[in-house]
Structure 1
Amino acid sequence: MSVFGLTEDQLAIRNAVRTFARADLAPGYLERATSTEFPWEVHRQVAGLGVLGMLAGPDHNPLEHDDYVAAGLAIEELAYADFNVANAVIPVMLMSSLIAAHASPAIRDRWLPPLIAGETYIAFGLTEPHSGSDATALRTTAVADGDGYLLTGEKTSVTMLGHAEAMIVTAQTVRDGENRGVSTFLVDLSADGLAKSDIPDTGWKPMGRGVLHLDGVRVPADALIGAEGSAFRSVLGGFDFTRPLLALTGIGCAQSCLDLTADYVRDRVAFGEPLSRFEGVSFPLAEHSTTLEAARLLCYSALWRRNEGLRHTAEAAMSKWYGPLSASAAVKDCLLLHGNYGYATEYGLEQRLRDVMAVEIADGTAQIQKIIIARERYGRDFVPYSKA
């Protein structure tokens, strides 16, 4: 990142979200985190700050232009107070940016205003039982049929499926018996031919994940997001900004744990001294402060490069590998430094650990990120992952 200072607009966004998050979100985190109910009222309050429209184009963005650094600042501040509320924002940012840039007027008019107002939710269906990060191996098909398409297949690990009204689905497109490549479609989840099931998780409970089965689901032609066969160009490039945003949710949550732990060890006395006086306590906090700062800078470097129109796929993958790894390690040590209190459900550290571990998996594991980094830095023939 070449410029370390923040603009006045970026500072204003960060300060507004920080004030709201720490005063209004933080006190209710644990209650929300242990419930399977999605906090719609809180989601709408976040929308009221303009956060949900930050990447939805000038007509909906409070800054009047897409600013990925500002989006990262908002996400990190939300995650400091409530990890799950922050993570629910990221798919909205991705879906709204895709709809604003690539959807038909009918889709934009129907779905974009309520989406960024926090009144509805659109999930994203990419992962399948036989293909996770290998998007070229999709088995879901969209067969052109008359004035629309018939979608058949299965999507798994769909975040927010139980709360969404629609979903953007990726599928191998078939026209006149020929494969035309991977396309994306907006599917109304009230359509015929759909069946949903839940995936019980140890964290992310307010959002939830699920499996969607599609059996000949008909969608109109204007449900196509972008051109036929253009998913890799118009949709999947969005991962280059969602990956650092996801990492920042872990970093924000871990930072709040470090701050909480610093206060605790300053007050807790053992052997006649505050715990903070012992190197076995203070050194881990110093180490995690360092690794979190390094991870944070990786994230904002990737987001700044996107703002500048520079290639940032490697930086996004670096942030997604290193950020969640650093965050999980920090939260775990904070739990241990609290001793038996840290393991108790009433204090929330064990809940934060279960929540934060999820970002080590979402949008590609560390192993996938390292493959991407090697490919980007040393060439597509350097690793056996060169189709996408």
Structure 2
Amino acid sequence: MDFGLAEDHASVRDSVRNFARAELAPGYLARSKRSDFPWAVHKQVAELGVLGLLAGADHNPLDAEDFVAAGLAVEELAYADVNVANAVIPVMLVASLLSRHGSEHVRGEWLGPLVGGRTYVSFCLTEADSGSDAAALRTKAVAVDGGYVISGEKASVTMAAHASALIVTAQTYREGVHLGVSAFLVEMDDPGITTSGIADTGWKPMGRSMVHLDEVRVDEGALLGAEGAAFRSVLNGFDFTRPLLALTGVGCAQASLDETAAYVRERSAFGSPLARFEGVSFPLAEHSTTLEAARLLCYSALWKRGSGVRHTADAAMTKWYGPKMAGNAIKECLLLHGNYGYSAEFPFEQRLRDVLALEIADGTAQIQKIIISRELFGAEFTPYRG
């Protein structure tokens, strides 16, 4: 076994780390409290080549798609600004989907601007009555001459307020026959689309929205992949977005641990540095251990993805364990700073708000445990239909 980084991996990590800690970290708190998306920063990330790592040969700065490199990039970004990092992951997912399943026209029109940080395409899966139970979604796409008519409502759509297009999943019908769930690229300015924002406790620069689709007409080229094939060709992307999401929590929590370790070395009580008290040092030692375990689990899942090894259970493990451990670590760091840590002038309470979203996005911990159980015992022993 070799846990060392390849030359490309080290290059990606170092270039993103240098940029993130010098340029992103100082502005995290100010950006995190605003609802406008930091397009200038997003374009700087794009200039590093990060957004193209999974976008196909024409847009990838590396020789081939590299999921470990993607993980290193988002972890380093999250160390400095967890929201900037989490805005990158949907781009990676959508770019991968478009490069693999988009028509020539769709790839030509959208991939360049997307990985260049000049536009955004949001992913629409969740609905009010079908979050993790994606097969129960109610949005419909009815085939008509030359295209499809889509109607329905999507909930919890990240970045919808800033997006130029959406990838919409819908139950598909042709001549009254149900074909299964398909995915479509839908432009935001198409007639029949309206949005309404959701007031959240974190992730404010990205934001979430409800998206309403009222008989939205798209042409045949908007279909991604085959009709009814979204679960096979599109939604398996969650097996790499889940470890990426977990790594943003790990990176954010690592920054909190590093800051707290520096603080307790300098802060004294009863004539001794806080770091000498086991009530302070032991919790930090424990959180350092759980974060390292989460990190290794994530990179193992991403390595398996790139190597073609089955990794659905691994991805689910990262998704319930990583965000939970990250949140626990950040909370401990806040408390170890005492009254200062509770202040909004320090980053801990904001990081806690932002990281909490990771326990929900791409499936809650309960759903991840169902997936793990399904992989362990077989589908007949779980309520999950996937």
Shorter-chain TM-score category?
Answer: over 0.9
Aligned match of 1:281? 280
Where 2:243 maps in the other structure, the secondary structure is helix
Which residue is equivalent to 1:100? 99
For 1:269, the equivalent position in structure 2 comes to 268
Partner of 1:361: 360
Unaligned runs of 5+ in 2: none
Helix, strand or coil at the partner of 1:344? coil
Runs of 4+ in 1 over 2 A off after TM superposition: none
Within 5 Å, give how 1:208-247 maps onto structure 2. Answer: 208-247=207-246
CA deviation profile, 1:271-310 (whole Å, cap 9, x unmatched): 1111111000000000000000000011000000011110
The separation in 2 between residues aligned to 1:272 and 1:343, in whole angstroms, is 24
Alignment-derived partner of residue 338 in structure 1: 337
| Cα deviation, residue 235, structure 1 | 0.4
Percent sequence identity is: 68
The yes-or-no answer on 1:371 pairing with 2:370 is: yes
Pairs aligned (count): 386
Q: Partner residue of 2:176? A: 177
Q: Per the alignment, in what secondary structure is the counterpart of residue 228 of structure 1?
A: coil
Q: Distance in 1 between matches of 2:13 and 2:75?
A: 9
State how far apart, in whole Å, the 1-side matches of 2:186 and 2:108 are.
15
- CA shift, 1:101, in A, is 0.4
**Code of the aligned partner of 1:185:** F
* Alignment partners' CA distance in 1, 2:329 and 2:364: 18
Native 8 Å contact 1:169 1:187 kept in 2: yes
Q: Superposition pairs for residues 1-388 of structure 1, below 5 Å?
A: 2-385=1-384, 387-388=385-386
Residues 59-117 of structure 1: per-residue CA shift (max 9 Å, x gap): 11111200000100000000000000000000000000000000001111111100000
**Whole-Å Cα distance in 2 between the matches of residues 326 and 4 of structure 1?**
22
C-alpha deviations, 1:202-230, integer Å up to 9, x for none? 00000000000001000000000001001
After TM superposition, give the deviation of residue 5 of structure 1 in Å: 1.7
In structure 2, distance between residues paired with 1:281 and 1:357: 24
- Secondary structure, in 3 states, of the residue corresponding to 1:197? strand
- Classify the secondary structure of the residue corresponding to 1:66: coil
Distance 1:236 1:5 in 2: 31
Q: Is the 8 A contact 1:21 1:78 kept in 2?
A: yes
- Deviation string 1:149-203 (CA, Å, 9 cap, x unpaired) is 0000000000001000000000000000010000000000000011100000000
RMSD, matched Cα: 0.6
Counterpart of 1:214, as a letter, is L
> Deviation at 1:348?
1.4
Instruction: Output the amino acid matched with 1:343.
Output: Y
Would you say the 8 A contact 1:343–1:350 is kept in 2? yes
Q: Secondary structure at the match of 1:346?
A: coil
Q: How many Å apart are 1:376 and its aligned residue? A: 0.8
Q: 1:26, 1:35 → 2: CA distance?
A: 16
In structure 2, how many angstroms separate the alpha carbons of the residues matched to 1:37 and 1:272? 46
Q: CA deviation at 1:3?
A: 3.4
Query: Which amino acid is 2:75 matched to?
Result: E
Q: Is the contact made by 1:335 and 1:349 (CA closer than 8 Å) also made in structure 2? A: yes
Partners in 1 of 2:119 and 2:338 — Cα distance? 42
Please give the alpha-carbon distance, in whole angstroms, between the structure 1 residues aligned to 2:281 and 2:226. 55
Could you state the TM-score of these two structures normalised by the residue count of structure 2? 0.99
Determine the C-alpha separation between the residues in 1 that align with 2:267 and 2:380. Answer: 55
SS at match of 1:172: strand
8 Å Cα contact 1:57/1:64 also seen in 2: no
Deviation at 1:266, TM superposition (A): 0.7
SS in 1 for 2:55: coil
Q: Distance in 2 between matches of 1:26 and 1:350?
A: 16
Give TM-score, length-normalised by structure 1: 0.99
Aligned-partner SS, 2:380? coil
Contact 1:194 1:213 in 2 (8 A): yes
